[in-house]
Structure 1
Amino acid sequence: MATSPIWASRAKTRGLVLDVIRAAHASSRVELAAATGLTSATISEVVRELMNDGLVVEAGTGASRGGKPRTLVQLNPAARYSVGVQLERNTCVVVVVDLVGRQVARTSFHGPAVLPPDQALPQVAAQVEALLAATAVDRAKVLGVGLVGYGPQDRRTGTLLTPQPTEAWLNYPIAGRLAEILGLPVLLDNDAAAAAIGEYWLGAVDPTSTYGCIYMATGIGGSVVVAGEVYRGTSSNSVEIGHISIDVNGDECTCGNVGCLENYAGPSAVVRRAIAIPGLVQRLALDPTGGDFLTEFARIAAAANAGEPAARSLIEQSARYLGHAAVTMSTLFDVDTIVLAGPSFTVAGSIYQAVIQHEIDRRTFARRAHPVRVVPSINGSDAAANGGAVLVLQNELKLSANLTGQTP
């Protein structure tokens, strides 16, 4: 029998078995024993406990391998739920997902982050409550809320370390305050990290792989996942590719660096260039005085898809800059896949994918050793919100005592 310290904690053992079942979608007890290194007796006991708790259900039988067909077990989707909240500068998305990470409800509303946090967070909480009520989800089955947004941030204290969009948000205890209003645990995380782990949870990537995520909403973020774990760095503010310098002589960024990628490839940069092109504002019905860069960017992206030459040129220029960042990500972390996630990839994602793949194929350092695929997120524009909810599930799966009500 395995002697690793992980087996010393019953909760961790249950969490391990749950995660193996989740990854396999359905698994027999024999397969669980082989995958975990636990004895058949231990697996049978743990599976029985999980079934008694309602977390696991039987799912028919697998193909016969010469003996009695093996009974399969799978997660019970309705056993637990979590909430994901993506707080963007101009919009907020709220989702509810079940135990397997499938979205069961969604809503969005405009502009909470332009308000002071003391006014914005009660609005967010009201939307969460309304969505849970509309779906008739048992509140006792809700594990918590994954609150995701831009960085830098302090995950440990649940605070934002940026004065964006206003000074009132700097060092504000955003996670603790939302938890207080809702009466639910709240986990703060980076939108790119959340989007990346959502791909892993839903089986869109090889669970043993090292892959990257480029996340683009109003700004640009990045994340790297290694065998199902987000690479965190010292303070969980890692892989911020939007703030790598691509021009040492460039303008100073609000982050303190100069020549940041976000100021060349991000939606706001694309919109500013579009406004400067004679006649394009009128042709695309852009609002040069507005601050909703996501909406204006989506109009440019739609025009690019429709073949408008100036719009197409702007999107391809942005994509080439992002290709530069993707090459840097690949060179630093030796990834095998790069996922493009976030609302700004929704309209013109095919253009970005083709241009970034071209840059990767011709410039990546390890291109002769292995290919690097550039793929769209399976979660689309809701990648960060879905991923935030999944981070809660992942966290609770590892601490299975919290999920089942038992103590280690």
Structure 2
Amino acid sequence: MRRGTNLPAVGGYNRSVVLDAVRREAAGLSRTEIAERTGLSPQAVTNVSRRLLDAGLIRESGTVISGPGKPRTMLQLEPGGSFALGVHVDPAVVTYVLLDLHGTVVAHTQTPTPSASRPDEVVGLIARTVDGLVAGSGVDRARLLGIGIAAPGPIDVEDGVVLDPPMLPRWRHVPLRRAIAEATGLPVLLEKDVAAAAVAELWFSDGASRRDFAFVYYGTGFGTGLVIGRDVVRGSSSNAGDSGHVTVASSGRRCTCGRIGCVGELITPHALVRQAVEAGVLTADDLLVDVLDAARSEGDPDDLHRIEEALVALAGKAADGDEGALEILHEAARHLARAVVVVLNLLDLAEVVFGGPFWHVVAPWVLQVLPEAVRSSAALIAKHPIALEQSAIGTDVAAVGAACLVLDHAFSPRPSALLISA
């Protein structure tokens, strides 16, 4: 937890310090406890608390008697004091969440990504859906802090531009942040989807957990969010975590990068569906749609919904005990384990969290093989225990993380707030 300062010119920073302290203690804190935890003087805490109470961001939740002296008045976060929107733009589906200050999802919806995948259509869809979500929730629009957008990379965070995501081939240098801000009239933050997912895991964990971990993101594409010392590793251009080209096999289909054995080419939904079709595990009789062409056109957004349906069908085959389906998913688990070991060795991590929009579809069968494949790998250097866990946030993790970024940007204490500018 960051500590405050008693200099008179940094009230905004101290406001964030106090709010962050109260947020992390569900039972509430007294003013004395806040002073002890933050290093602020009792008078500074009293002044900051008064402003937060007036703003409706915290509330007095009763008194507690603890030993001799005056009873302590407890302060708790007011969940409805402000709200944040999160939007995850996936090539197949756009997910929307509305979070209160506790990080509780108070409204949620999804829309298929427009089949034409034109950026202007997506922006218009997002603006309309956001308006409907807020109106349906009954939340006062004046209490909205802004919108966080989680988008596939690579992105230009400084300019708010989506550059050229492989699974959205018709997107090139799209000024998504500005376009959505203009369409909604709200402040907008842009983040890479894997980083947003890692932010969500941090937001909902305490200081004793999720310190050094990788978030393995399994959606239309594959990537890795990285956290070291409870800080998200974004890299020099905020595009860290593009792990799809880690080589995990010596044979197989040639990747778009020109190499053979890239993990993304072996385990993503389109890859698994293609393997199932080529092996005869999935046939036209198994599906309501023709998936043969979709399995071969992995970058075409028009086919992504068919890929999703086919992946569900493949999982259904595995659930029924189909040996071919099980072998495809188990082999994917072994490929994924090799990529995970590379990341564990590179950063000496203690934990890996798995999640993303399609993770739940394949997880039961991947997890039959993956943990043992990681821990028994001859290539694994770490001698400490490795925790392999599934995200408890669910399929909306990137959208939730994008909304958490808005909350974090608004209320988490930042040392940069102390800098004096001319």
- TM-score, normalised to structure 1, is 0.88
Cα deviation, 1:263-293, whole Å, max 9, x if unaligned, reads 0111111010000122532464272234232
- Structure 1 residue 164 displacement after superposition: 4.2
Query: Residue 305 of structure 1 is aligned with which of 315, 319, 322?
Result: 319
List aligned pairs for 1:6-405, cutoff 5 A. 9-25=10-26, 26-61=28-63, 64=66, 70-112=72-114, 114-162=116-164, 164-203=166-205, 206=208, 209-247=211-249, 253-254=255-256, 259-278=261-280, 280-282=282-284, 284-285=286-287, 287-290=291-294, 291=303, 292=305, 293-363=307-377, 365=380, 367-368=382-383, 370-398=384-412
Give me the whole-angstrom Cα distance separating, in 2, the residues matched to 1:95 and 1:3. Answer: 32
Give me the whole-angstrom Cα distance separating, in 2, the residues matched to 1:196 and 1:182. Answer: 26
| Bigger shift: residues 202-211 or 273-282 | 202-211
SS at match of 1:343: coil
Matched-pair contact (CA < 8 Å) for 2:215–2:354: yes
Residues 131/28 of structure 1: CA separation in 2 closer, same or farther (3 Å cut): same
Give me the whole-angstrom Cα distance separating, in 1, the residues matched to 2:353 and 2:84. Answer: 24
SS at match of 1:107: strand
Residues 58/332 of structure 1: CA separation in 2 closer, same or farther (3 Å cut): farther
- The one-letter code matched in structure 1 to 2:385 is P
| Bigger shift: residues 66-75 or 248-257 | 248-257
- Structure 1 residue 261 displacement after superposition: 1.4
Give me the whole-angstrom Cα distance separating, in 2, the residues matched to 1:344 and 1:115. Answer: 20
Matched-pair contact (CA < 8 Å) for 2:95–2:110: yes
Percent identity, aligned pairs only, is: 33
1:404 corresponding residue in structure 2: none
Cα deviation, 1:43-76, whole Å, max 9, x if unaligned, reads 2322222112110112345684676654332211
Give me the whole-angstrom Cα distance separating, in 2, the residues matched to 1:161 and 1:170. Answer: 5
- Structure 1 residue 28 displacement after superposition: 3.0
Matched-pair contact (CA < 8 Å) for 2:4–2:17: no
- The one-letter code matched in structure 1 to 2:371 is Q
- Structure 1 residue 219 displacement after superposition: 0.4
Which one has the bigger helix percentage? 1
2:419 corresponding residue in structure 1: none
- Structure 1 residue 160 displacement after superposition: 1.2
- The one-letter code matched in structure 1 to 2:179 is R
- Structure 1 residue 258 displacement after superposition: 5.9
Cα deviation, 1:199-247, whole Å, max 9, x if unaligned, reads 2212277357112101111100111123432111101111222232335
Cα deviation, 1:104-130, whole Å, max 9, x if unaligned, reads 111111123742112221111111111
SS at match of 1:148: strand
SS at match of 1:223: strand
Give me the whole-angstrom Cα distance separating, in 1, the residues matched to 2:394 and 2:370. Answer: 18
Matched-pair contact (CA < 8 Å) for 1:86–1:148: yes
SS at match of 1:318: helix
- Structure 1 residue 253 displacement after superposition: 4.0
Residues 99/39 of structure 1: CA separation in 2 closer, same or farther (3 Å cut): same
- The one-letter code matched in structure 2 to 1:21 is V
Give me the whole-angstrom Cα distance separating, in 1, the residues matched to 2:206 and 2:310. Answer: 30
2:300 corresponding residue in structure 1: none
Give me the whole-angstrom Cα distance separating, in 1, the residues matched to 2:326 and 2:281. Answer: 15
- The one-letter code matched in structure 1 to 2:248 is I
Matched-pair contact (CA < 8 Å) for 2:212–2:351: yes
2:299 corresponding residue in structure 1: none
SS at match of 1:199: helix
Matched length: 398
- Structure 1 residue 156 displacement after superposition: 1.0
Give me the whole-angstrom Cα distance separating, in 1, the residues matched to 2:198 and 2:11. Answer: 29
Structure 1 residue ranges without an equivalent (≥5): 401-408
Matched-pair contact (CA < 8 Å) for 1:162–1:170: yes
SS at match of 2:159: coil
Give me the whole-angstrom Cα distance separating, in 2, the residues matched to 1:359 and 1:62. Answer: 52
| Bigger shift: residues 65-74 or 130-139 | 65-74
- The one-letter code matched in structure 2 to 1:395 is H
Give me the whole-angstrom Cα distance separating, in 2, the residues matched to 1:6 and 1:147. Answer: 35
Give me the whole-angstrom Cα distance separating, in 1, the residues matched to 2:387 and 2:51. Answer: 41
- Structure 1 residue 331 displacement after superposition: 1.4
SS at match of 1:307: coil
Matched-pair contact (CA < 8 Å) for 1:113–1:120: no
2:418 corresponding residue in structure 1: none
Matched-pair contact (CA < 8 Å) for 1:200–1:206: no
Give me the whole-angstrom Cα distance separating, in 2, the residues matched to 1:50 and 1:189. Answer: 28
Give me the whole-angstrom Cα distance separating, in 1, the residues matched to 2:411 and 2:126. Answer: 26
SS at match of 1:243: coil
